[in-house]
Amino acid sequence: MPRPSLKTNLLCISIASASILALSCGAMAHAQLTGSDADVWEHKLSTARELRENRDFDKSRQILEGLIASADNSKDRIRSRKACSALAAVYFFEGDLQKAEAINRQALAAALADPPLSNSERALVLADLAEVLLGRAEKETNPEKQKALQDEAITDIDMALDMVRKAFSRNNPSLSSRMSFLSELYAKAGQKAKSDEVRIEAGSIVNAFLSDMSIKIKRAWQPPKRTFSYSAEVGFEVLDHGRVDQEQMLTSSNDADADKACIAAVKAAQPFADISKESDEDKLFLSFRFDYNFSNENKSGHENEAHKEQAKEREKENLLAKEKANIQDARAKIKDLRSARTHDSMQLALQYARLSASLRNSGSFDESVRTLKSALNLKEYSRVDTPGTLVLLSELGATYLRAMEPELAEKTLTMVVENPNFKKLGDQKVKARALEDLGHALSTLGRFAEAQKYYLEKRQYSN
């Protein structure tokens, strides 16, 4: 349920829990917590989510119920909605789908109350509710009830899709992220054609924005001449009308002038495409990686452009051919390992990770995710703290990140790096990449201070 997220309802569900019925979930006039009160509230929400990921459901519930009461007392409907959604997620993870559904219905009723919350906020609640309904439909044995649950879920997804299209401009990668999750829900509801349509549209939105942004930043970049190669990464927020704010170094080049040139390039490249949105709650945080190649700097600069493009195409074709061969080889090795009477679960996990990476590099993100989830369902990976499971989850987080699903990436990778056995993994590269990917996911979500922690930790595993 936690993700880049996110009617009237036809089914009437009775709720047994008095504590659930007592939650108001934001049905009050609109206002907001401010200043230090807001900071404390957000920190507690983050803590509750971490407790949920660590399966400490009771403590998470206790904090979230307090946050809902605090937000309600302050008439902060948006934060009340966020806490309600987080509480519903606790019940969702526990497997109590009826309670999760009840809270989401209350949150939806509050979001629709006069004056209604933004399209963006209402779409989040609708998507949450649809996910729970589809979860219930999977377990429902009565065909008529199952169909009713699926039909309501599809209606909610349709409404959420319409709302996010109204909430964000066509240029906004946040629209792509929301649509990608709705595409997954359509797939779960058996709507493959609609799922494919929405997924393709989402991909075109983010690719167009990032391509335009990349071209502008590269043109604006004027790095100082150096006799060594380096990389650096800048994080920043994109505001309405494509302006940027909060530029900061996520990964330094260890050269002050080079870092300044990277920051200057981002500032000079603006404005990017207009990403007008309804609410300041919908923030878009991005990062851009700068790679300075000393050998390329020494070239004359008079190479034939057509020749360079042809070389790039040949390189791309060669890489795809290599990945195709890797896919075939990894599948063969997985088959051999699984057919053996006994096998090394770590070696099997590494082959699944290799297969997933090659699928991802070939552009098959959905198949990469399905491959890893299939592997994680094997009995040898039923425990989250085993080395093989951590490798598979790390690869899953990497796939979510590159598929522009930063919240799913953050959730999955946090589960990996905060596991007590993470530091015991023998492969230093796996640890370094998991920490770097988690840093990238957090920076994309605008949580720069948290990201820096993992970037720094990564250094101890990097050569």
Fold for 209-297, please state it: 3.30.1150
Candidate from 147-161, 225-239, 338-352, 444-458 with smallest mean pLDDT: 444-458
Rank 78-82, 308-312, 351-355, 359-363 by mean pLDDT and report only the highest: 351-355
Span 351-365, average pLDDT: 87
pLDDT of residue 116: 80
Burial of 101 (0-12, 13-18, 19+ CB in 10 A): buried
Q: Give me the phi and psi of 340, to 5 degrees please.
A: -70, 150
SS3 (DSSP) at 288:
strand
Prediction pTM value: 0.56
Tokens representing 233 are 């990464």
Q: Measured between alpha carbons, how far is 179 from 186 in angstroms, rounded to an integer? A: 10
Radius of gyration of the chain (CA): 23
Q: Mean pLDDT, the chain, as a whole number?
A: 81
Fold for 18-167, please state it: 1.25.40
Q: Measured between alpha carbons, how far is 256 from 128 in angstroms, rounded to an integer? A: 45
* H helices present in 13-76, as ranges: 18-21, 35-53, 57-73
Ordered by start, the domain boundaries in the chain are 18-167, 209-297, 307-461
148 has pLDDT over 70: yes
The answer to whether 27 touches 109, Cβ cutoff 8 Å, is yes
Candidate from 67-71, 246-250, 352-356, 455-459 with smallest mean pLDDT: 455-459
Of the candidates 104, 57, 70, 102, the one whose C-alpha atom is nearest the C-alpha of residue 84 is 104
Specify the residue for token string 């996520």.
Answer: 250
Number of Cβ atoms within 10 Å of the Cβ of 333: 17
Rank 102-111, 182-191, 267-276 by mean pLDDT and report only the highest: 182-191
Tokens representing 179 are 């649509």
pLDDT of residue 446: 72
Give the model confidence (pLDDT) of 401-425 as tens digits.
Answer: 887 788 888 999 999 999 888 888 8
* H helices present in 168-238, as ranges: 173-188, 192-220
Confidence of residue 117 (pLDDT cuts 50, 70, 90): confident
Sequence-separated (6 or more) residues with CB below 8 Å from residue 253: 230, 231, 232, 259, 262, 290, 292
Give the model confidence (pLDDT) of 217-242 as tens digits.
Answer: 998 999 998 888 888 999 998 887 78
pLDDT of residue 9: 25
Largest interatomic CA distance in the chain: 75
Residue 257's H or E segment, with its range, is helix 256-269
- 40: alpha, beta or left, given left = phi > 0 and alpha = psi -120 to 50? alpha
Span 97-124, average pLDDT: 86
Q: Measured between alpha carbons, how far is 384 from 401 in angstroms, rounded to an integer? A: 20
Sequence-separated (6 or more) residues with CB below 8 Å from residue 372: 352, 353, 356, 392, 395, 396, 399
pLDDT of residue 145: 92
pLDDT of residue 412: 92
Tokens representing 437 are 């990917």
The answer to whether 404 touches 176, Cβ cutoff 8 Å, is yes
283 has pLDDT over 50: yes
pLDDT of residue 159: 92
The residue type at 416: V
Fold for 307-461, please state it: 1.25.40
pLDDT of residue 19: 27
SS3 (DSSP) at 54:
coil
SS3 (DSSP) at 292:
strand
Angle at 361 between CA 360 and CA 367, to 5 degrees: 25
pLDDT of residue 34: 58
The answer to whether 277 touches 243, Cβ cutoff 8 Å, is no
The answer to whether 32 touches 434, Cβ cutoff 8 Å, is no
State the Cα torsion 40-46-48-49 to the nearest 10°.
170
4 has pLDDT over 70: no
Give the model confidence (pLDDT) of 154-183 as tens digits.
Answer: 999 999 999 988 888 777 888 888 888 899
Q: Measured between alpha carbons, how far is 440 from 451 in angstroms, rounded to an integer? A: 7
